[in-house]
Chains A and B, each alone.
Chain A
Amino acid sequence: MFLAHVDPLQASIFSSLAVMSLLLTFVMLGSHWLRNYVYAFAVQSWLIAALSASVGYFAGYPELYVIAVLTALFRGLVLPYLLMRIIARLNVKRELHAVLQPSSSLVLGALLVMFAFVIANHMNRQPFLAAHVVVMALTIMLSMKFLGFLMLAVRDEAVSQILGLLVLENGIFLGSQILVPGMPLLIEIVILFDLLIVVACFGMLVRFLVVHAGTTSSRQLNRLIG
């Protein structure tokens, strides 16, 4: 594993990129405006692309450059564009009924990050010095999972839910760049394309929701219970 020989400069580059991505998740969590979510998501994707490129450079995996370009292109440009189109079509600008106020969801999010850290700390047993990078990568991976699920749970708008799912996937992607840069290229490329299909499907479904269910807020999707 390349992290065994990582020097402090590299470690701090990886850490700062990863931590900034985590902070952007908090930006999404703390805002009501759908547009802000999309911007934060786009920037987060660019940071992940930068992370891929730097891991590729320092650890000597040239194929990660391809991943970096594709990430920036798909997650940083195409997906935000598609999401913006959905938002424009829906004519919804912000979350109307927050289950939790942004301030309380921030506090809850912080607690979840601590929980993620506890788990990550238990999972790691690396003897070398840069072990803190491993723990940090695991922590951020898990906390973006938790935060994504938190967004899914407390947000009603269809677009927020799509973004929640994308945050879940961004977390995995970010962690896997640091932990397993040697993961076969094919898998990562297919997962990227897969995301594109996911968002396209969601786009179509959102249209169905408007036409047939008359709402894009999951609060009103309450016909099926029991």
Chain B
Amino acid sequence: MAESLLILLFAAPIVAAVLSFAVRSPRLAEYATVAAAVLDLVVSVPLLLQVLGGPATLAHNYIRVDVLGAWVIVCISIVYALASIYAVGYMRLLDEDERLPVFYGLFSGFALTMLAACVMNNVGVFWIAIELTTLISTFLVGFEREAESTEAAWKYIVVVSGGISLALLGTVLFYWGGSLVLGPSYAMTWAALHKAAPSVYPPLLLVSFLLVLVGYGTKAGLAPMHTWLPDAHSESPAPVSAMLSGALLNASMLGIARFLSVVRGTSMDGFAHAAVVGFGIFSFFIASIFIVRQTGIKRLMAYSSVEHIGVQALGLGFGGTLGVAGALYHMLNHSLNKSLMFFGAGNAMRAYGTKEISHIRRVLDVFPISGMLWLLGAVGIAGAPPFALFLSEFTVLRAGIGSPYRWAAVAFVVLLIVVFIGFLAHFRAMYFDKAPGQQIPRLAGGVWRTLPMWLAFIPLLVLGLWWPHGLWQVFAHISQELMGGAQ
């Protein structure tokens, strides 16, 4: 059952990508992508329920879905579905119909590589999947073919490839450390690393872990390796920004979570967690500075992603069931909320014809309904109740207070307040400051561009008011997986 769901999960984006490239009809490509994405979302939830009973394996154990992998798959599928619906409305505005099939082909390919990364049981193949996400998304980042987007694409691929090569080095060193315990040749699975880690020479283990952390941390956008992120997020088309921020960062976080769980229980446990907490709080700090002084609307969203990936790192670093649950709940909530924010930013950019916050004024006059959703989303992403991010940030904070890193929990609260004020100040200006005088061209809402905003907003509100018990069970299961090693 789980195996057939898995095949369906991968077949859908493959078919959509092949159709887009082969038939070259923009309309067909749009609908095929939306259909594949919605199908993936529908499949991902029962897949999660299935693997709760025990992990599913395929292809000689190269593919293995555990609960953590399935959870990230759910988060990625949600963003894939929302972003492809939004893309139908947004990409038509660009007036580049003839290049749309290529766009959708790459779009589905991008989703495919991220989903693939979640189920890879072999550490080397996981690295390759993450590398492939970079190569495909580079062309999505540079899709608008302006000087800025080409520059962003170039910086993206150079910085991320350089960073990810550190992760490869770390992986090789992990394998070497394991080979001294398990014999010269063994299958490089997560379970094997778990088994070998306690007997590996501790300094070697620490260096390997730090290399992997910096490598996947580059891809996840942890500061100070985040430099590609604001450029890539701000210059790509809005649906791609949502995918980069809401889905790709999760897939890289998955790698960090898994390696962190490998070193758990060894003598380097404390150092490793402290390093993750350190990167988390530093990302939060950098993001808060740049959010306060930001002038570009999508760069504002991008730095907010750095902030929220920092929260997830903090949750994982604080550890314990509470920390892991908070980080994973945050992953879902951030995926929903950031998609909503990028969709709103895309609408505003198209209507006002600018990326500058100072030129966007009186948003509610232009977008009465979707503008309201965007504003509520901004309140949510700044961490205010009753939206879901409040609950998950609060959980991470509780985990922090109970952990040895109480200083980080205190810094977390202070920085949250800074971000709250800084982020919402920009929105106050955009919504309530005086209009600049010139006539703003009205951009009709468009069902394709408003619907995904509703679809992101409603669960965000519901999850903020009610944390389903089922989710809690999923998180408890994952945290057991991470702490007890692979079964």
Contacts and interface: CB of A to CB of B under 8 A. Distances in A.
A223 interface: yes
Contact of B207 (A123, A176, A218, A226): A123
Contacts of B154: 158, 205, 209, 213, 218, 221
Contacts of A214: 147
Contacts of A125: 201, 204
Contacts of A114: none
Interface stretch (A31-39, A42-50, A76-84, A167-175): A167-175
A172 B124 CA distance: 13
Interface stretch (A67-75, A103-111, A181-189): A181-189
A9 to B, nearest CB: 21
Contacts of A115: none
Contact of B125 (A164, A187, A205): A187
B168 A172 contact: yes
Contact of A226 (B150, B176, B203, B295): B295
B26 to A, nearest CB: 22
Chain A CB count within 10 A is highest, among B122, B155, B157, B165, for B165
Contact of B146 (A175, A176, A212): A212
B175 to A, nearest CB: 5
A181 B142 CA distance: 39
A164 B154 CA distance: 14
B153 to A, nearest CB: 6
A179 B169 CA distance: 12
B269 interface: no
SS of B interface (majority) = helix
B184 interface: yes
B187 interface: yes
A182 B184 contact: yes
Interface residues of B, number: 55
A152 B138 contact: no
A182 B175 CA distance: 10
Contacts of A190: 124-125, 128
Interface stretch (A12-20, A22-30, A93-101, A195-203): A195-203
A122 interface: yes
Given A145-B169, A172-B169, A198 B135 contact: yes
Interface in B110-165: 122, 124-125, 128, 131-132, 135, 138-139, 142, 145-155, 157-158, 161-162, 165
A183 B203 contact: no
A152 B162 contact: yes
A213 B165 contact: no
Contact of A181 (B162, B173, B184, B293): B184
A201 B147 contact: no
B231 interface: yes
Contacts, number: 141
B204 to A, nearest CB: 5
Contacts of A7: none
Contact of B290 (A161, A169, A226): A226
Contacts of B338: none
A24 B424 CA distance: 54
Contact of A123 (B128, B184, B186, B201): B201
A154 interface: no
Contact of A205 (B142, B162, B204, B207): B142
B294 interface: yes
A46 B150 CA distance: 34
B408 interface: no
Interface string B222-259: 00000000110011000000000000000000000000
Contacts of A6: none
Chain A CB count within 10 A is highest, among B148, B166, B172, for B172
Contacts of A149: 162
A183 B125 CA distance: 12
B185 interface: yes
A224 B162 contact: no
Given A212-B147, A214-B147, A205 B172 contact: no
B201 A194 contact: no
A119 interface: yes
B179 A201 contact: no
B260 interface: no
B158 A165 contact: yes
Contacts of A218: 154, 158
A169 B176 CA distance: 17
Contact of B188 (A2, A161, A164, A183): A183
27 contacts: A123-B203, A124-B201, A141-B169, A142-B169, A149-B162, A152-B158, A179-B172, A179-B176, A180-B175, A182-B179, A184-B187, A186-B125, A187-B122, A187-B125, A198-B131, A201-B135, A201-B139, A205-B153, A205-B157, A208-B153, A212-B146, A212-B147, A213-B150, A223-B147, A224-B151, A224-B152, A226-B294
Given A191-B124, A223-B151, 5 more contacts: A158-B154, A165-B165, A179-B172, A190-B125, A208-B150
Interface of B: 122, 124-125, 128, 131-132, 135, 138-139, 142, 145-155, 157-158, 161-162, 165-166, 168-169, 172-173, 175-176, 179-180, 183-188, 201, 203-204, 207, 230-231, 234-235, 290, 293-296, 299
6 closest A-B pairs by CB: A182-B185, A187-B124, A182-B184, A212-B150, A168-B165, A224-B231
